[in-house]
A = this chain, B = another copy of it.
Amino acid sequence: MKIETCYSPLTYPLFHNAEAIVVVIDVLRATSAMVTAIANGATSMIPVATVEEAKALQVSGCLAAAERNGEKLDGFDFGNSPISYLDQQIVNKTIAISTTNGTQAIAVASEAKQIVIGAFLNANAVIQYLKDQKRDVVFLCAGWKNKFNLEDTLFAGHVANELLKTDGFETECDSTIAAGVLYEHAAQDLFGFLDKSSHRNRLSHLNLEADIRFCLQLNLYDTVPVSNGDGVLVSHTSLAKV
């Protein structure tokens, strides 16, 4: 099984593989929020590209989350802070969500065999799920406004490194090799390493240190949100093998 890593949603068409599972990654913070919500009892999430779609779903009875440039938009129940999903009101609810980067990445991969939501919070669960599925894997890093970012790449590198220790997985993809090297470099202190990244500038004014530390926790949850074929994310335990 081939592993490839796409650093920008803008280049995803170069990586499209109809047989692959696409792991969408937006560590800070959309996919961390999705994992947290599903792990804490939300029935499903509906990722949508536009704020208008999220609003329409809210009107029809869903909870709704909308974030742009790091901030929760007025009139919505949530933004993309994963900590905000540690709330009993999400239990057994469907949540529509639209974010700056993460849900855009999900949208560009809509033709994939299956979309899987990855974050450090569910890293081992994603690794085990991919080993079980025995399919080609494309890591799709949401990045920041279509540019490369470090945290999504580090997660891709971590999962790729683990898969490459498993019989049957291989890569000839330079971006996967680079991601693996970067993860090895940063693994001992993810927060410290990212402290050097552009996040300090693009997110520091939002007072997000608590969120960042939350998102960088490894393996807090065992759930893997996966697309159910209708573009809706549900826990993998509620789905049969693809």
Contact = CB atoms under 8 A, between A and B. Distances in A.
A46 to B, nearest CB: 28
Contacts of A174: 144, 147-150, 153, 197-198
Q: How many copies does the complex hold?
A: 2
A202 B7 CA distance: 20
Interface string A1-42: 000000110110010000000000000000000000000000
- Sorting the interface of chain A by its residue count into under 10, 10 to 19, 20 to 34 or 35 or more gives 20 to 34
B11 A11 contact: yes
A91 interface: no
A172 B148 CA distance: 12
Interface string A74-99: 00000000000000000000000000
A30 B201 CA distance: 36
A85 to B, nearest CB: 26
6 contacts: A10-B10, A172-B198, A172-B202, A177-B196, A181-B182, A185-B185
